[in-house]
Each structure stands twice: as structure tokens, then as C-alpha cells.
Amino acid sequence: MGVFKKMIGFYNYTVILTYISLCSAVFGITQVFEGNDSIAVLCLVVSGICDLFDGKVARHKKDRTDQEKVFGIQIDSLADLVCFGVLPACIGYHYGFNYGLGLIAALMIVLCGLIRLGYFNVMEEERQRTTAENRKEYQGVPITTSSMLLPLLFMGKHNIPKEAFPYVFQGFMILLSILFVVDIRVKKFSTRGIVIMFTIGAIIVLGYLKFGPKG
């Protein structure tokens, strides 16, 4: 651990899942460039599964300092923008219409994701100064939703005409982007809900392992 004392940042087990999530997303972006859509979407799912549990892992460490808590909030949001904004933008843009719908969808999911995460950071820091209770609801749809809904849409592409799928995928990206910043109340998942989402994620992963290479 001595080597980490000579580096900036905070290094403990609470940040591991966040870093794994980010690395998975960056690898997914490289796979978009290689034309491996199934692997790229699989990386999106892996990032989503990591994000489901990184907060619980962080809260498990009871002796975190205020600086460590703020650091955790910041890196989580920075990683989320790459994982659930930039990676989906690359996947959607890769489908074509790059100077029309594809470009608009890519711009919107990153921009709306940025606005949402920046606003969340401001409000979360303020909330944590006034209460120690866990958050019970969100304003707007969480950006991490893209890690579940977009892969499900991708897996169902065989039920959509091939020529129409890019329009459907990119149109859904635009709709999801708007939901990121619309002021609606979304109840936070309970532990049971997280387990259900994890199960869905695991099914998606297994589906990609079995069917992805053929798509």
C-alpha cells in the first residue's frame, strides 16, 4: 500500500467496481471500432452490473472520510458518463445515418447524461450534508438505465426489420436521453429490485455468449 501514498486519489476496495465498470466501457468502445457490436453491448451490460453494486460496496466501509465520500461520488459520475453515455453513443453512431439521426442520438445521450450527472452531484453533496439516510428516489431516469434497456433492444433486433433497426435504436436513444433530464420522480430500486436487475443482466450476458457472435 506504500506506493499508493505517493499517488493522488483514494485507493481502497470501495472504488474497485467503479474502475472495472469504466475499463469494461472503454474496451467496449474499442470493440465498436472493430465492428464487434455484440461484445460492445456485452461490455455495456457488465458496466451496468458493476454499477448496481458499487454503491453498496462503498457504504459497507463505515470509516470513510468526507473526502473519500465526495471522491466516490465524483468518480462514479465520471465513469457513468463514459459507460452509459459515451459507449451507447458510439454503438448508436456505428449503425449509420451519421450526419442525421445517428449524430443527434449520439450527441443527446452524452449531453443529457452530462447534465444529469452534474446536477446529481450538486444535489447529492447537498443532501449528504443534511441527512445520513440513503436516497429513496431519483429525479429523472438514471443514466445507468441504458445498460439494461439498450441491450434488451439489441437482443430483440431480429424481430425488427433490418433496415428499420438503426432508426429504432437511435430513436430510442433520443427518448432515453430526454428521460434523463425530465423532472420526474423515479423510485430507487430496493435490494430485491437490484437482485432482479442483476438476474436480468446475467440472462443478457448468457444470451450474448450464446447468440451474440451470430448476430
Q: Which region holds residue 140: left if phi is over 0, alpha if psi is between -120 and 50, else beta?
A: left
Using the predicted structure, report yes or no on whether residue 64 has a pLDDT greater than 90: no
With cut-offs at 50, 70 and 90, classify the pLDDT of residue 33: very high
- For the entire predicted model, the pTM comes to 0.85
With cut-offs at 50, 70 and 90, classify the pLDDT of residue 34: very high
Share of the chain above pLDDT 70, in %: 80
Buried b (16+ CB within 10 A) or exposed e, 49-87: bbbbebbebbeeeeebeeebbbbbbebbbebbbbbbbbb
Q: Range with the lowest mean pLDDT among 38-42, 112-116, 156-160?
A: 156-160
48-63 confidence digits (pLDDT tens): 988 888 777 767 666 7
Question: What is the spatial distance between Cα 120 and Cα 191, in angstroms, rounded to a whole number?
Answer: 21
- Higher-scoring residue by pLDDT: 185, 3: 185
pLDDT of residue 70: 79
Q: What is the mean pLDDT of residues 2-7?
A: 64
- Higher-scoring residue by pLDDT: 77, 1: 77
pLDDT of residue 203: 74
- Residue 85, C-alpha cell as written in the block: 453515455
pLDDT of residue 134: 66
Beta strand ranges found along 79-148 (DSSP E): 137-139
CA 67 distance to own-chain centroid: 24
Question: What is the spatial distance between Cα 171 and Cα 187, in angstroms, rounded to a whole number?
Answer: 25
Q: Length of the chain in residues, anyone?
A: 215
Using the predicted structure, report yes or no on whether residue 23 has a pLDDT greater than 50: yes
- Give Cβ neighbours of residue 164 (< 8 Å, ≥ 6 apart): none
Using the predicted structure, report yes or no on whether residue 178 has a pLDDT greater than 80: yes
| CB of 28 closer than 8 Å to CB of 146 | no
Q: What is the mean pLDDT of residues 159-164?
A: 88
Using the predicted structure, report yes or no on whether residue 146 has a pLDDT greater than 90: yes
With cut-offs at 50, 70 and 90, classify the pLDDT of residue 179: very high
**Phi, psi angles (nearest 5°) of residue 15:** -105, -5
Domains, the chain, in order of start with CATH, read: 2-214 (1.20.120)
Three-class secondary structure of residue 110 per DSSP = helix
